[in-house]
């Protein structure tokens, strides 16, 4: 089946050459708004992966020796091309992943900003000179770690790939990127920007394939020095085991289950106007999506009423419709998984204050949903729904709120809303998360580290920390 708004040429990119699906296995690419196949993505063979590894090995030797001004110039040019082609990339993204077109445009813009920021950060990879007696020198350098396997998910396919590609290339590493097979067109379009910006042959490869097959093949190779992964906790643990055999450096941005603490002194209407759109952004398929809402008792009923009223008004539909504010879930597995969690919670005593069921005659849609009075025994209170469901409970005091926020073995992001400055400071210290937003959800920006604690992973993407993770430290002593 063809789609008039889907014009992607789905290909692999290995050793400076685009390669089609001819002679290769393929996988259907689905339009989540209709549930229909719109294209086929070629899957890399073992020979393709070996060619990618060989190219990355050669490309690293070339790229690490390329002066920083040249590397920065190519990254800046790629960012400019992304902005020029933003509408096409965003349209491909919406058609493949489902998110509203306005969100897709924002994702492309943020990705371009990431390339620009790391183009400049490459010029700030400073070392240091140690104090030594006259005539002696000891210096500390940062050097690129080597070829990188970059594995990214389908929820923000362009942005999360950019968060890996930009710092790795800025640091002087070569890359083998495996984006999700669900979204090959928009990630391929990102790669086209790098190629057209003048990235030398062999520096970056783009492959698709069966995820476990690709990851095992790449991680087992002595060529790969670093693995950067964004995805689920179970898969992250699996990849860490594979990486352990080669003592490979890993960055793991894994799942979360973000708590949101709502205090009675917050500006209630302003808070509701912020949290409802944020909850249903990308249909809740966001690793830092606000999900576990804990509301101070005096405002609990008013918060639930206001949240439910706003939720019922969220326009749901095809992401290419400008009126849509929430699109479909990304694949056919997600509505069933969400329904199971919602049904379990209701069976254990939760109340569906809004939504709670599938919607639409076609596609992978689920209603924007608010569950109130959710018992701790409900599966959804321990398992991240990764969908358009908010769960809520009341709390009596700050100690209880912090205890509930920290009760799970995850710690990616957390949020709190209060007008009390001292309380805000205490919350920032006490909440166990890699990122805490106080009266804001703006926690993923180019110049700040993004990462979790506990089983939400380790290492950072974004900021100077994201650059440093693609380098190794070398001390040189001269007498």
Catalytic residue among 103, 253, 296, 432: 253
CA-closest candidate to residue 362, choices 28, 1, 30, 41: 30
Neighbour count for residue 19 (Cβ, 10 Å): 18
**Known catalytic membership, residue 193:** no
Degrees (nearest 5) of the Cα angle 281, 285, 286? 80
CA 342 to chain centroid: 25
Other Cβ atoms within 10 Å of 431 Cβ, number: 21
Q: What is the DSSP string of 211-251?
A: HHHHHHHHHHSTT--EEEEES-HHHHHHHHHHHHHTT-EEE
Question: What count of other Cβ atoms lies within 10 Å of the Cβ of residue 181?
Answer: 21
**Is there a contact between 305 and 297 (Cβ–Cβ < 8 Å)?**
no
287 flagged as catalytic: yes
The one catalytic residue among 173, 193, 266, 287: 287
* Residues contacting residue 319 through CB under 8 Å, at least 6 positions apart: 33, 94, 95, 97, 98, 99, 100, 101, 103, 104, 327, 328
C-beta atoms surrounding 149 within 10 Å: 30
β partners of residue 29? 39
Q: List active site positions.
A: 253, 287
């Amino acid at each position: 089946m063809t789609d008039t708004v889907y014009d992607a040429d789905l290909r692999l990119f290995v050793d400076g050459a685009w390669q089609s699906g001819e002679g290769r296995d393929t996988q259907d690419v689905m339009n989540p708004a209709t549930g229909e196949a719109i294209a086929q993505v070629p899957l890399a063979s073992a020979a393709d992966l070996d060619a990618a590894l060989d190219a990355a090995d050669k490309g690293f030797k070339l790229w690490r020796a390329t002066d920083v001004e040249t590397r920065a110039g190519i990254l800046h040019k790629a960012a400019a091309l992304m902005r020029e082609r933003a509408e096409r990339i965003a349209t491909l993204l919406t058609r493949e992943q489902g998110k509203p077109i306005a969100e897709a445009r924002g994702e492309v813009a943020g990705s371009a900003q990431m390339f620009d920021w790391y183009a400049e950060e490459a010029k700030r990879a400073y070392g240091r000179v140690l104090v030594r007696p006259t005539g002696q020198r000891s210096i500390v350098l940062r050097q690129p770690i080597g070829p990188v396997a970059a594995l990214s998910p389908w929820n923000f396919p362009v942005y999360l790939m950019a968060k890996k590609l930009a710092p790795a290339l800025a640091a002087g590493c070569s890359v083998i990127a495996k984006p999700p097979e669900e979204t090959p067109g928009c990630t391929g379009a990102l790669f086209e920007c790098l190629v057209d910006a003048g990235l030398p042959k062999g520096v970056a490869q783009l492959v698709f394939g069966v995820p476990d097959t690709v990851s095992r093949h790449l991680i087992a190779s002595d060529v790969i020095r670093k693995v950067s992964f964004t995805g689920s906790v179970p898969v992250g643990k699996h990849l860490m085991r594979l990486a352990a055999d080669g003592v490979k450096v890993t960055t793991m941005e894994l799942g979360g289950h973000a708590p949101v603490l709502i205090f009675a002194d917050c500006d209630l209407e302003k808070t509701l106007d912020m949290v409802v759109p944020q909850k249903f952004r990308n249909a809740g398929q966001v690793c830092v999506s606000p999900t576990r809402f804990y509301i101070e008792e005096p405002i609990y009923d008013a918060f639930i009423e206001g949240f439910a009223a706003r939720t019922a008004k969220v326009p749901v539909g095809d992401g290419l419709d400008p009126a849509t504010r929430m699109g479909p879930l990304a694949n056919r597995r997600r509505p069933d998984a969400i329904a199971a969690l919602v049904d379990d919670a209701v069976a254990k005593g939760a109340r569906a204050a809004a939504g709670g069921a599938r919607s639409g005659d076609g596609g992978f849609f689920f209603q924007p949903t608010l569950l109130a009075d959710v018992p701790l025994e409900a599966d959804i209170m321990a398992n991240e729904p990764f969908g358009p469901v908010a769960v809520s409970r009341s709390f009596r005091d700050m100690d209880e709120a912090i205890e509930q926020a920290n009760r799970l073995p995850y710690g990616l992001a957390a949020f709190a809303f209060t007008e009390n400055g001292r309380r805000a400071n205490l919350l920032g210290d006490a909440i166990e998360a890699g990122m805490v937003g106080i009266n804001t959800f703006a926690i993923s920006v180019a110049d700040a580290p993004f990462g979790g604690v506990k089983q939400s992973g380790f290492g950072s993407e974004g900021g100077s920390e994201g650059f440093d993770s693609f380098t190794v430290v070398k001390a040189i002593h001269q007498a």
